[in-house]
């Protein structure tokens, strides 16, 4: 029997507070370097977009950088960079985040900036039209004019899911983006950007009492608005295989991706975690199951990857989500043969189990990645903010390496056995004639 890896938990201190206006605060002091990471996470993402407003969550993320109640356009950029810091924001399926890394003596500056735009971004017709054009250009660069653009994160969900929140194009259609109004943006802000719908996380060189005094000073008078009722995005699992294909005129070679529904990441974490480990067992490194079989031995694919969630965020996603495998094929490659081989390897793993040391090696590598991701103060702040948002448990960050190491071979085999063809959705890329 394969030995189970024994990986210790980390011991980052975590303090949780809630302001009177409903803003949740997570603090993680670390005095080892004079640096801080600040993250504000709002509980709104691609799945929250209303019909007719595809791409709106991402568009609004852009608008949050166009000035705020007391700051003109580009002032946020100037104040962070002038302090020697960096900043950004990003849109995800279930949340949107805004973040900075700064010298610790600039903590108050970062808090002022985030509080000011939490009170209200500068929503003008000029800013809206400008950012619609920016997002449209992103779509052109990243999807429309790029080989395999949107594969599989935009192409597979409408095959796998039936409901609008789960299946629609999160980047957005040009028609929806162009029809957005300032009134739409103001309504979106009022609904989702309430302090009761947000988490502020600060990690690094800070004193708890001093940081809370600054947080109260800048966020305490942000008007209280409750979090909106979060709808259920649940839908039934597949009972029959779904397959579709499309022609990509820019793709030089065929590709295929497949997805299976997996347990709820929040409410059934123990049932979910084996799939996270299984993805690595199958595809991480030359010794992994599918790389060794498909790439090195059979040479039926040129590359293969496996991950959880359409944006590859196993610890920052809610239900429903998916276990994904994707592969690029050589000229004339046979995607049916690739899928049959994947089924064979899953059956073999479920029946015969793991080789000696295979699981421990995988778990050690996964723990290394987890530790690296949270070594930097910003990585720690971001992960804690999302864990607080989705689970009310930011200290789970400390337990993740240990929990990964406690997944057993029996759980891996059970997970592999559950990935049946009748529960699978797949999308195939057919190279265009001009490729």
pLDDT of residue 6: 76
pLDDT of residue 7: 85
Q: Which residues of the chain have pLDDT under 70?
A: 1-5, 433-435
CATH number of 15-219: 3.30.830.10
pLDDT of residue 433: 64
d(CA 282, CA 359): 11
Q: Please identify, in words, the CATH class of the domain defined by 242-431.
A: alpha beta
The pTM is what? 0.96
Q: What is the pLDDT of residues 127-143, one digit of tens each?
A: 999 999 999 999 999 99
**Residues of each domain in the chain carrying CATH 3.30.830.10:** 15-219, 242-431
pLDDT of residue 426: 98
């Amino acid at each position: 029997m394969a030995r189970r890896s024994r990986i210790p938990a980390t011991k980052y201190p975590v303090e949780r507070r809630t302001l009177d206006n409903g803003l949740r605060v997570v603090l993680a002091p670390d005095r080892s370097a004079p640096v801080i990471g600040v993250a504000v996470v709002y509980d709104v993402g691609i799945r929250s977009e209303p019909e007719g407003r595809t791409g709106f969550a991402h568009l609004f993320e852009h608008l949050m950088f166009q000035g705020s109640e007391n700051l003109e356009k580009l002032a946020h950029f100037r104040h962070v960079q002038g302090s020697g810091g960096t900043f950004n924001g990003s849109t995800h399926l279930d949340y949107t985040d805004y973040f900075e890394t700064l010298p610790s003596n600039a903590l108050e500056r970062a808090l002022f900036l985030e509080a000011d735009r939490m009170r209200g971004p500068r929503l003008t017709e000029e800013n809206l039209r400008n950012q619609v054009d920016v997002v449209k250009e992103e779509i052109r660069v990243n999807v429309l004019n790029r080989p395999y653009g949107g594969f599989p994160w935009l192409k597979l969900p409408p095959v796998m899911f039936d409901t609008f929140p789960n299946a629609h194009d999160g980047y957005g259609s040009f028609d929806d983006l162009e029809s957005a109004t300032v009134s739409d943006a103001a309504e979106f802000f009022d609904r989702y950007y309430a302090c009761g719908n947000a988490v502020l996380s600060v990690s690094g060189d800070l004193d708890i009492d001093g940081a809370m005094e600054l947080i109260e000073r800048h966020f305490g008078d942000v008007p209280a608005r409750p979090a909106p009722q979060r709808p259920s995005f649940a839908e039934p699992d597949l009972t029959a295989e779904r397959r579709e294909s499309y022609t990509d005129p820019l793709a030089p070679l065929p590709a295929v991706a497949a997805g299976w529904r997996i347990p709820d990441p929040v409410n059934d974490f123990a049932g979910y975690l084996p799939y996270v480990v299984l993805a690595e067992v199958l595809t991480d490194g030359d010794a992994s199951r599918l790389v060794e079989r498909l790439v090195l031995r059979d040479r039926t694919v040129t590359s293969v990857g496996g991950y959880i969630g359409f944006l590859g965020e196993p610890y920052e996603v809610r239900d429903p989500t998916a276990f994904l495998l994707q592969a690029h094929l050589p000229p004339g490659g046979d995607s049916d043969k690739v899928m049959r081989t994947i089924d064979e390897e899953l059956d073999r793993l479920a029946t015969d189990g793991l080789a000696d040391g295979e699981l421990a090696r995988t778990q050690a590598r996964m723990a290394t990645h987890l530790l690296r991701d949270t070594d930097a103060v910003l990585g720690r702040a971001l992960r804690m903010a999302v864990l607080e948002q989705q689970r009310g448990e930011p200290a789970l960050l400390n337990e993740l390496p240990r929990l990964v190491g406690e997944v057993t071979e029996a759980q891996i085999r059970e997970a592999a056995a559950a990935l049946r063809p009748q529960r699978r959705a797949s999308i195939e890329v057919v190279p265009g004639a001009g490729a």
